[in-house]
């Protein structure tokens, strides 16, 4: 049985069998989880059609019919499916309300690529969901296989407290997903020694000679201890170096990971990783992020 028991699928009104829906259906089929398919139609002049009431009703009617057809297909495959069509001006608030109403423990959504200028003016919905969703969020960009086979657990190697606990939860979640999907777990860490420094009071930031090498050695040792503890084979440990955005993007481009599991408990980590890094990582082909909230 899956660690996730009820999946909320958040779809737009495009009426197509998206990668997120394919992934969610495969996860539900492999585990017996309930599948709640929700189509969210933005009531703020969606597609420039909302000014015409007849066009809006036609759009809603077409989506209801599509939902009925998709539900019949999925139920024929043996899945337990429910559906809802929501006309809303607050997709984030509506999604959170549905999660709480239904008792879902995983939100699955297609990645929504936004133009750079729009991201500067308005926080993308995907980023808001990563920050505010009360449950784990699986953002799907594209898939090679419906079930993920290559699963990366991204750890930050915080040496104590909540960060250490979250690393353990990320690895546990990755192992549970791999067990459900007959997949392999990889361990990933980015060492950005340039961000590790000593502040000289009143004199700005300075770095002691050899300090970068010491940080790298220390983090690599901690990374290998973690890999040993969780029995991750050496060939599936990826100790990356450099700026996080570039390192993760290059890793995703060359490794063909099906999903990257990561934690999201700290606002500073979310701003750096979930805000900046994920925005770039999700632009890579075949990259999908599963962001967990505490215990999976």
Cα separation, 14 vs 20, in Å, equals 13
Neighbours of 205 (CB within 10 A): 8
pLDDT given for residue 294 in this prediction: 66
User: What pTM value is reported for the model?
Assistant: 0.85
Q: How high is the mean pLDDT in each 10-residue block of the chain (296 residues)?
A: 86 92 96 96 63 80 95 96 94 96 96 65 80 93 91 81 77 95 95 58 44 81 95 96 84 87 61 52 72 74
Question: Which sequence spans correspond to the domains of the chain?
Answer: 6-110, 150-292
CA nearest 232: which of 295, 170, 294? 170
Give the number of other Cβ atoms within 10 Å of residue 262's Cβ. Answer: 29
What is the CA angle 119-128-68, rounded to 5? 105
Fold adopted by 150-292: Rossmann fold (3.40.50)
Q: Which pLDDT score, from 0 to 100, does residue 216 have?
A: 87
Q: Any idea what DSSP says for residue 185? A: E
pLDDT for position 206 = 45
In this chain, the answer to whether the domains covering 6-110 and 150-292 adopt an identical fold is: yes
CATH 3.30.565.10 for the 6-110 domain, yes or no = no
Helix, strand, or coil (residue 181)? helix
Q: How far apart are CA 135 and CA 105, in angstroms?
A: 5
Residues in the chain: 296
Q: What pLDDT does 117 receive?
A: 56
Helical segments of the chain, H only:
19-31, 53-76, 91-102, 116-121, 125-132, 161-181, 211-229, 244-255, 267-269, 278-281
């Amino acid at each position: 049985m899956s660690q996730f028991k009820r999946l909320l699928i958040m779809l737009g009104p495009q009426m197509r069998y998206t990668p997120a829906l394919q992934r969610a259906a495969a996860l539900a089929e492999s585990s017996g989880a309930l599948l709640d398919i929700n189509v969210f139609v933005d009531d703020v002049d969606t597609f420039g059609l909302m000014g015409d009431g007849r066009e809006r009703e036609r759009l809603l009617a077409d989506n209801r019919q599509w939902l009925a057809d998709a539900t019949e297909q999925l139920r024929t495959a043996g899945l337990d499916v429910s559906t809802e069509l929501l006309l809303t001006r607050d997709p984030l608030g509506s999604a959170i309300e549905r999660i709480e109403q239904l008792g879902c423990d995983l939100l699955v959504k297609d990645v929504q690529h936004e133009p750079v200028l729009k991201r500067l003016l308005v926080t993308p919905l995907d980023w808001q969901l990563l920050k505010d969703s009360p449950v784990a969020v699986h953002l799907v960009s594209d898939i090679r296989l419906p079930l993920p086979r290559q699963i990366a657990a991204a750890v930050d190697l915080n040496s104590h407290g909540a960060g250490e606990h979250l690393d353990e939860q990320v690895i546990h979640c990755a192992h549970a997903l791999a067990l459900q999907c007959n997949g392999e777990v990889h361990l990933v860490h980015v060492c950005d020694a340039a961000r590790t420094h000593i502040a000289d009071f009143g004199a700005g930031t300075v770095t002691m000679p050899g300090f970068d090498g010491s940080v790298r050695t220390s983090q690599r040792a901690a990374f290998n201890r973690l890999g040993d503890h969780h029995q991750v084979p050496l060939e599936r440990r990826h100790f990356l170096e450099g700026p996080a955005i570039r390192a993760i993007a290059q890793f995703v481009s060359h490794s063909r990971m099906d999903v990257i599991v990561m934690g999201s408990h700290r606002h500073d980590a979310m701003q750096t990783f979930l805000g900046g890094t994920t925005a770039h990582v999700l632009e890579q082909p075949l990259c999908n992020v599963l962001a967990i909230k505490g215990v999976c």
